[in-house]
Structure 1
């Protein structure tokens, strides 16, 4: 029985690295995925596939994109169950009323304790962050555009990650639940 997954493509449609969502769907068409749906133009996809590891699915999608568009893309995959945990584990209830003030950074690896300690020393002003499982939640009361930590998190923690605002996190959860 197929399971539902969410794929997050990192760095797509920013900085000149363009991948249309129609091209993404074409690229993965031969992988045997079902019910492939994309969300926005920022590299978000939900699909159903035979049970496999997140890493295996990410590698298959990345290879398909490379073969179809000659692009190297970092991809992170989470099962719908894992994504539901990202939603329920959010420590910032402000996200419900002001979803643009909370971002979930999906971590590909766990950062070392030394790297976390360094991030804690950064002057964050009114911003707060918390790591729960494989997600770092960043609350930016003044908005992500004015965030002090938004651009420091990955450079400081030194693990691959990709961030989505709370509207997108919830929308992907709803899209996946509908498959």
Structure 2
């Protein structure tokens, strides 16, 4: 315990896709039950805001264990402060357009981030750029899963280490 309350965002990987279904009300109930306060879920894709005196690393371990026990799946969670999410949003380097998705890929380790950044991309289709612990990614709508970066990050070996969020979602979490 640090004693100071911190506002966190937990990004659950693979929730409500691929057979792992968690109702956001159940997720909020679980997080409250762990003693965290000011709990709110955002959208139905495994995003939860809450306040805790604990360090992010301790919160991550606690959440992953609780999710595994309660919902019976191999849970992986990225825990960041609201301030860190706001900085990530502010750092998005690509022009936003109605026909493109603006994504942020969260990679737990620098090695995974570097491996993904090494994926050869067709710059006429998609762009990727390193950020602080993330990869900024722009891809045409309708091409996400078929793009080089989309295919690379969906590889099974990255499952515990990577989660992706649309910039619009992150903007809601940073408020």
Q: What TM-score do you get using the length of structure 2 for normalisation? A: 0.84
Greater shift after overlay, 62-71 or 3-12?
Answer: 62-71
Q: For residue 38 of structure 1, what is the aligned residue in structure 2?
A: 41
Tell me, yes or no, if the aligned pair for 1:112 and 1:157 is still in contact at 8 Å: no
Q: For residue 141 of structure 1, what is the aligned residue in structure 2?
A: 140
Q: What is the alpha-carbon distance in structure 2 between the residues aligned to residue 62 and residue 124 of structure 1? A: 36
Q: What are the ranges of 5 or more consecutive residues in structure 1 without an aligned counterpart?
A: 175-179
The structure whose residues are more often helix, as a share, is: 1
Q: For residue 102 of structure 1, what is the aligned residue in structure 2?
A: 102
How many angstroms does 1:90 deviate by? 0.9
Is 1:90 matched with 2:92?
A: yes
Q: For residue 177 of structure 1, what is the aligned residue in structure 2?
A: none
How many angstroms does 1:61 deviate by? 0.8
Q: What is the alpha-carbon distance in structure 2 between the residues aligned to residue 116 and residue 26 of structure 1? A: 35
Q: What is the alpha-carbon distance in structure 1 between the residues aligned to residue 83 and residue 23 of structure 2? A: 27
Is 1:127 matched with 2:129?
A: no
RMSD (CA atoms): 2.6
Distance 1:92 1:12, change over 3 A: same
Q: What are the ranges of 5 or more consecutive residues in structure 2 without an aligned counterpart?
A: none
Is 1:79 matched with 2:81?
A: yes
- The residue correspondences of 1:10-89 to structure 2 (distance < 5 A) are 10-52=13-55, 54-89=56-91
